[in-house]
Amino acid sequence: MLTPRRCALILAAYLAPCLAVACAAPFVGSARTTAEIFWELRVPRVVLGLLAGGSLAMTGAALQVVLRNPLAEPYTLGVASGGALGAVIAIMLPGLAVSLGPLSSVQLFSLAGCGLALGLIYALARRPQGISMSMLLLAGVTVGILCGALILLVRFLAKPTILVAMERWVMGGLDVFGYRDLGALLPLLLPGLGLLVMQTPSLNHLSLGGEMAAGHGVDVAAVHREVFLGAGLATAAAVSVAGPIGFVGLIVPHAVRRLSGYDHRIVLPASFLLGGAFLVACDALARLAVAPAEMPVGILTALVGGPIFIHILLRRR
């Protein structure tokens, strides 16, 4: 039985490495670092990594339950591809540059792309009795492929001088300057994660099957709807600032379940802590790997996540 004391002890065990990585990561890099570089570049970068990695991991943990698919992750929804399409359009057309508070034009277009993709997927998956999870999965994959094709078209039409900026963004990274980007992240991230946390008890029932969850009084359609919305908001927030960083939402929830079991009162917050630590650690390694140049962290997470993805596939044979 999971008592409050045991729950606190388990989460403390995840919090410790998360804090250790967060404290060490700002010191990775050149030894000649001014106070301004430390506080305006490195610390915001670590905070962004914790928030983006944590939100992607928590979203992946919830989606794997509602979709009943251990290979599901935030990008299964296709929302990230919509955000990437919006971002490359904004980079291609600098004349459309607009801003709204802390949001830059790239972030605004990315959020708009995420919103359009989310709406299209919802419309395709909606049924009179609620959201069809099988259709949601198919619609997400289809929208992702379509957006990927449009991204290739935009890159083909773009001027060579801006292709580097596009490539850099599509690879994903934690390049932030000051705390402005963090302000753009929170208004969508917090409500999205809040919706997921509110469904923690229902996710425990849903992991046993939809019919059994309904027998325990769970409104399965409402849970699907709220998890879909929460996952979409959290993914859109992370992608708009950090770009499409893959595999964090796939591998971290599996690691947490293997270490701590399947109770989502543990799985969701532990995934957030471990996901944040994982992304920050990958970012630090990416900066060291090709120093003094800097490898986009999305490349390293894919290199780590790819073999793990194959391992999961082989275990399901």
CATH number at residue 217: 1.10.3470.10
Residue 316 has what pLDDT? Answer: 63
Whether 152 is covered by a domain: the verdict is: yes
CB 56 within 8 A of CB 276: no
Whether 14 is covered by a domain: the verdict is: no
Whether 273 is covered by a domain: the verdict is: yes
pLDDT digits (tens, 9 = 90+) for 67-83: 888 888 888 888 889 99
Residue 193 has pLDDT above 80, yes or no: yes
Residue 126 has what pLDDT? Answer: 85
Residue 198 has what pLDDT? Answer: 94
Full-model pTM? 0.92
pLDDT digits (tens, 9 = 90+) for 118-136: 899 989 988 877 778 888 8
- Burial 41-67, CB ≥16 within 10 A → b, else e: bbbbbbbbbbbbbbbbbbbbbbbbbbb
Whether 303 is covered by a domain: the verdict is: yes
Query: Encoding tokens for residue 158?
Result: 């773009």
Mean pLDDT calculated for residue range 36-43: 83
> Whole domain around residue 129: which residue ranges?
35-315
Whether 2 is covered by a domain: the verdict is: no
Domain count, the chain: 1
The mean of the pLDDT values for the chain is: 87
Residue 166 has what pLDDT? Answer: 87
Whether 190 is covered by a domain: the verdict is: yes
Closest by CA position to 140, among listed 148, 152, 130: 148
pLDDT digits (tens, 9 = 90+) for 259-276: 898 999 999 999 999 999
Binning pLDDT at 50, 70 and 90, where does residue 177 land? Answer: low
Whether 28 is covered by a domain: the verdict is: no
Residue 94 has pLDDT above 90, yes or no: no
Mean pLDDT calculated for residue range 237-248: 89
Whether 10 is covered by a domain: the verdict is: no
